[in-house]
Amino acid sequence: MTLDAIGGHPAADRVRVSDLDVVNAADEQLVAPRIFGVLNVTPDSFSDGGRYLDVDAAVAHGLRLVADGAVIVDVGGESTRPGAERVSAAEERDRVLPVIRLLRAEGVRVSIDTLRASTAEASVEAGASVINDVSGGLADPDMASVAARAGALGVDFVAMHWRGHSTEMDRLATYADVVLDVRRELGTRVDDLIAHGVPAERIILDPGLGFAKTAEHNWQLLGRLAELQSLGFRMLVGASRKRFLGAVVGADVPVEDRDLPTAVISALSAQAGAWGVRVHDVRSTRVALDVAAAWRSGSVRRDGPQVDGADLSESEIGATRIGSDEDRESLGSLNDVSRGEPR
């Protein structure tokens, strides 16, 4: 089925208002930045590999992230750290789908962190309201089509700046001017995604800190974030626990010691206008963002976790859950997208 035919799909005809639209409509009432809490369901992620491979442990951690102030839990089943080995599509889906379904059953908003169109598609059907692709759609030729059809249902697509897989990224870190080059390459990704039918309002950009970047490149991108924001799209910043922070706290300290500089970067990114931040330790970033919000507003909110001056209550989060069989069936239109594996 073509993208143009989505409105005539039998399942689409039964949709009153997509649950995904409700989820992301609620998000539009918030003031940036949103916190994406990282949940790696992997044995080899650089920060917490193996800790949450068990489904129950993963779900419990996802709920802790929300309790600490995350608005979205970003679930990933394949490590993208430098040098990481790929896993099969089937194994990736087996890791993430049970976790996504159980978190959605608890009313938690979920993002799927994947390079694969088939995993993204299955995750949206399971209830994910954001597709977070570190390749920006470059790793899988079918991703743009999935993002377009999901976008028509209200699903956001995060396109990160990317130059190659983790096994080769370090040798690709050559730029004339890293900020101008990243801005241009992100603009090209946006043009391609829109040409494939992804709604412009569903696109979120990520500068790709640590991916084919030196430490100096990362700091330059952060310091000139406004130049990337001039593209006119929401910006997600993911600096959490990354290697370049070792220059601040020391290269040989535990990765958890990078949470403090991560929180500072989150607050400065908020000041620069970032729409969201992706972090492992939500609590420290939440405190940093609340301090930054109090600094700007001249007052402190004392009625619960804030999203830079606006909060999403537990009842509001619960209201966004995909509950009925009919609701879940409304996502069935994604089944008509060809399922291609990455090359």
pLDDT per residue as tens digits for the range 194-205: 999 999 999 999
- pLDDT grade, residue 132 (50/70/90)? very high
Cα-Cα-Cα-Cα dihedral sign, residues 342, 115, 137, 142: positive
* The pLDDT of residue 170: 78
Nearest residue to 123 via CA among 77, 55, 59, 61 = 77
Catalytic residue among 116, 183, 242, 286: 242
Is 328 a domain residue? no
* The pLDDT of residue 247: 86
**What's the CATH code of the domain at 216?**
3.20.20.20
Is 47 a domain residue? yes
Is 11 a domain residue? no
pLDDT digits (tens, 9 = 90+) for 207-241: 999 999 999 999 999 999 999 999 999 999 999 99
- The count of domains in the chain is 1
74-78, 265-269, 273-277, 321-325: lowest mean pLDDT where?
Answer: 321-325
242 given a catalytic annotation = yes
Please give the DSSP secondary-structure letter assigned to residue 117. H
Catalytic residue among 34, 241, 278, 321: 278
Three-class DSSP category at 73: strand
Q: CA 168 to CA 63: how far, in whole Å?
A: 35
Range(s) of the domain holding residue 193: 20-321
Is 187 a domain residue? yes
**Please, is 343 exposed, middle or buried when counting C-beta atoms within 10 Å of its C-beta (0-12, 13-18, 19+)?**
exposed
Is 211 a domain residue? yes
Is 3 a domain residue? no
Q: CA 122 to CA 133: how far, in whole Å?
A: 14
Nearest residue to 207 via CA among 230, 49, 191 = 230
278 given a catalytic annotation = yes
Is 249 a domain residue? yes
* pTM greater than the 0.95 cutoff: no
Amino acid at 225: L
Is 71 a domain residue? yes
β pairing state of 203-206 and 130-133: unpaired
Three-class DSSP category at 187: helix
8-17, 50-59, 78-87: which has the highest mean pLDDT? Answer: 50-59
